[in-house]
Amino acid sequence: MALLQISEPGKATLPHEHRRAVGIDLGTTNSLIASIISSQATVIENSDNEKIIPSVVNYSKNSSLVGTSAKENQIIDPKNTVSSVKRLVGKNMDDINPKSFSLTLKSHENTIGIETIQGIKTPVEVSSEILKYLKSLAEGRLGGELMGAVITVPAYFDDAQRQATKDAAKLAGLNVLRLINEPTSAAVAYGLEQKIEGNFVIYDLGGGTFDVSILRLSKGLFEVLSTHGNAQLGGDDYDQILAEWLVKDNPNNNEPKVKESLLKIARHVKESLTNKDFIYVDEKITNTIHIQKKINRAQFSQLTKSLTEKTLASVKQALRDAEIDAEDIDGIVMVGGSTRMPSVQESVQEFFNQPLLNNLNPDEVVAIGAAIQANILAGNTNDDLLLLDVIPLSLGIETIGEIVERIIPRNSTLPIAMAQEFTTYKDGQTAMIIHVVQGERDLVKDCRSLGKFTLKGIPPMVAGAAKIRVTFQVDTDGLMSVTAKELSTSVESSIEVKPSYGLSEDNIKLMLESSYASAEEDKESRALAEAKTEASQLAEMTNNALNSDKGLLTPNEIKLIEEDLDLLNKSLVTNDRDVIHQLTEKLNSTSEVLASKRMDQSIQKALSGKTINSLEL
């Protein structure tokens, strides 16, 4: 990891300390990476002057290709060419239709395995290949290692999909500053926060997913009110319908090669109809399949009407969740290449009865927004813009009768935590399993199972005597964590919580280590360097915080922190990784009180000048 330069949070660094931060739009079909270069949000090109990198990875025996060169292998080597991997990320075999992929897929640990010439690859690994490629583009352009990245995800991504995306980034050696929702990112790109207060709709139709979000904006505050969408609906589905129509009367169109060529033609037809009123198709695919058909805009629009209507049904639901009428919307932002389709534009415009905001390149707008956000998070600017996002799907737990009890309702502002109390039903019971699901339906089988959390180490008592408080916390990335505490005894946080889904920390570590492919001592020195970096950062920042806010602490608290600070500083010269690590943890724990009181102080400062009665501002 790069040596991070860190100043006091909330304060911008000096210009020469500009940190290399990027925004990544990791799309189903294409991916982009952008950064603020000379004060301008810029999408970074590869050496072939391409900004839009196909999200395709081709594996050969000893190497792998990413992007256009990988895509070129799609037809000749479909088994080893992975495209649309985003549709597999964070899923298992039960969630997908394997027939819609030209790959050999099978269940692998808690996820899906893709059989390639290089062995089994998980969707996380494939995604990380794409991220690695993008990372190296940016490092080349920006001239050094990246401090961090903001990665966009569809608003409708569930916990497992978000976690998998973050894991892929980790595996690619990226420090994830934040996962943000694609629609929110687009709103940032449009600089809507500089406009007057208002309600905005972000309509995002990409290659593989549809998302809609309702945002309320005012004074640098982006408040997501609701979000809805369909993770299985995008421009690709328009291609699919068109492809089927093109060879309606021909039976031999299910061979992978034929399918591939058909989709390519369909895509071309769709794109051409953006500027033309009609197009004549004359293509020979095989000796038996020769397409000669004319299609006009109205026909295409009619063919795909049901898809566009599905998106509008999501829009309606999002408006209802936000408790806002279509008339109260002040602007509609169109995002995603698929919103270029005239039929889509017309339908949305008609629905809201007002012109659309679509002057930014819909392919780039998400990456641009992410770059702006990354720049803010890295502390490169004084911009006080803040995104307040929501959880897209309700979280619940399984109760008796396979009924879902909702714990965190959808569209709750993040971060959020909810606690629930459980008890044992058998004498001497020391463990229990909590099944967490995500979704809006009442039955467990109709929701997405996130996995089971096993609580271990409950002190043995008679049935019903133990009182276990389980806290479900969802952070600003939309990722859930579960902690548990036994309340009737003084056993605190000794209850171990283990999720059953996704990759474990150890697993990731292992994958990371093997990817370094370096000698033992290299690994050791790398680990030592990382421990030292972390320790000296902590020491420096604690020292700064202590100097500016000593007044918040009791003499004893100050003494404890100073002692641990001193020990940690001394340990830095020992080169003993374990000792450094232990002392870092120790200072982390003693300085908690300082961090907490500084936070309270910030809250008070935020409202300073606002008296109890200053109701009208």
Partner 1 sequence: MSLNYYEIFNLPAEFDIDLKNLRERYGEIQKSIHPDRFAAATKVEQQQSLIKSTEINEAYQTLKNNLLRARYLIELHHKNEPSPLSSEFLMRQMEWEEELEEIKEIDPLIAFKENIKMNVQQETTRLSKLLDQDKNWEEAQTSLGQLKFLSNLLKKTTELSYTLSDN
Give the Cα separation of 308 and 207 in Å (integer). Answer: 14
219 binding partner 1? (CB under 8 A)? yes
595 binding partner 1? (CB under 8 A)? yes
Sign, Cα dihedral of 25, 377, 225, 501:
positive
554 binding partner 1? (CB under 8 A)? no
* Residue 578 appears among annotated catalytic residues: no
Q: In whole angstroms, how close is the CB of 247 to partner 1 at the nearest point?
A: 35
Q: In whole angstroms, how close is the CB of 614 to partner 1 at the nearest point?
A: 8
Q: In whole angstroms, how close is the CB of 57 to partner 1 at the nearest point?
A: 29
- 54 burial (CB, 10 Å; 0-12 / 13-18 / 19+) is buried
Annotate 344-387 with DSSP letters as a single string. Answer: HHHHHHHHHTS--B--S-TTTHHHHHHHHHHHHHTT------EE
- With CB under 8 A as the contact rule, the residue among 537, 543, 569, 582 that binds partner 1 is 537
Closest C-alpha among 126, 131, 32, 135 to residue 87 = 126
Element (H, E) at 53: strand 53-54
Site string for partner 1, 180-209 (x = CB under 8 A): ------------------------------
Q: In whole angstroms, how close is the CB of 221 to partner 1 at the nearest point?
A: 4
419 binding partner 1? (CB under 8 A)? no
The catalytic residue among 167, 193, 204, 486 is 204
Instruction: Using the rule CB under 8 A, give the single segment among 72-80, 273-281, 489-497, 594-602 that binds partner 1.
Output: 594-602
Strand order in the sheet with 468-474: 416-422, 468-474, 480-486
3-state class of 584 per DSSP?
Answer: helix
Annotate 98-112 with DSSP letters as a single string. Answer: GGGSSS-EEEETTEE
Give the Cα separation of 556 and 594 in Å (integer). Answer: 12
14 binding partner 1? (CB under 8 A)? no
Q: In whole angstroms, how close is the CB of 8 to partner 1 at the nearest point?
A: 9
**Closest CB to partner 1 among 77 and 530?**
530
476 binding partner 1? (CB under 8 A)? yes
* Residue 248 appears among annotated catalytic residues: no
- With CB under 8 A as the contact rule, the residue among 376, 470, 480, 484 that binds partner 1 is 376
- With CB under 8 A as the contact rule, the residue among 93, 96, 105, 221 that binds partner 1 is 221
* Residue 211 appears among annotated catalytic residues: no
- With CB under 8 A as the contact rule, the residue among 320, 456, 498, 523 that binds partner 1 is 320
Neighbours of 251 (CB within 10 A): 8
473 binding partner 1? (CB under 8 A)? yes
- With CB under 8 A as the contact rule, the residue among 10, 143, 251, 401 that binds partner 1 is 10
DSSP, res 404: E
Closest C-alpha among 331, 322, 328 to residue 191 = 331
Binding residues for partner 1, how many (CB under 8 A)?
Answer: 58
Separation of first and last alpha carbons in the chain: 47
* Residue 294 appears among annotated catalytic residues: no
DSSP, res 591: T
Give the Cα separation of 617 and 610 in Å (integer). Answer: 9
Closest C-alpha among 5, 438, 56 to residue 260 = 56
User: Who contacts 92 (Cβ-Cβ below 8 Å, separation ≥6)?
Assistant: 107, 110, 111, 112
511 binding partner 1? (CB under 8 A)? no
420 binding partner 1? (CB under 8 A)? no
378 binding partner 1? (CB under 8 A)? yes
Instruction: Using the rule CB under 8 A, give the single segment among 51-59, 252-260, 331-339, 370-378 that binds partner 1.
Output: 370-378
**Closest CB to partner 1 among 38 and 611?**
611
3-state class of 405 per DSSP?
Answer: strand
- With CB under 8 A as the contact rule, the residue among 93, 388, 482, 572 that binds partner 1 is 388
User: Who contacts 552 (Cβ-Cβ below 8 Å, separation ≥6)?
Assistant: 594, 597, 598, 601
**Closest CB to partner 1 among 309 and 524?**
309
Give the Cα separation of 107 and 282 in Å (integer). Answer: 41
The catalytic residue among 129, 158, 167, 182 is 182
306 binding partner 1? (CB under 8 A)? no
3-state class of 63 per DSSP?
Answer: coil
16 binding partner 1? (CB under 8 A)? no
Strand order in the sheet with 198-205: 331-335, 198-205, 210-218, 221-230, 386-388
- With CB under 8 A as the contact rule, the residue among 105, 491, 541, 552 that binds partner 1 is 541
The catalytic residue among 86, 121, 259, 270 is 86
149 binding partner 1? (CB under 8 A)? no
Q: In whole angstroms, how close is the CB of 596 to partner 1 at the nearest point?
A: 5
Half-sphere CA count of 227, side-chain side, radius 13 A: 34
**Closest CB to partner 1 among 517 and 617?**
617
417 binding partner 1? (CB under 8 A)? yes
Annotate 452-504 with DSSP letters as a single string. Answer: EEEEE-PPP-STTT--EEEEEEE-TTS-EEEEEEE-SSS--S--EEE--SS--
558 binding partner 1? (CB under 8 A)? no
**Closest CB to partner 1 among 519 and 599?**
599
**Closest CB to partner 1 among 573 and 603?**
603
**Closest CB to partner 1 among 519 and 617?**
617
- 435 burial (CB, 10 Å; 0-12 / 13-18 / 19+) is middle
- With CB under 8 A as the contact rule, the residue among 174, 387, 450, 531 that binds partner 1 is 387
- Residues annotated as part of the active site: 25, 86, 182, 204
Residues that bind partner 1 (CB under 8 A): 4, 6, 9-10, 19, 147-148, 177-178, 218-221, 316, 320, 376-379, 384, 386-388, 412-417, 473, 475-476, 537-538, 541-542, 588-589, 591-592, 595-596, 598-600, 602-603, 605-607, 610-617
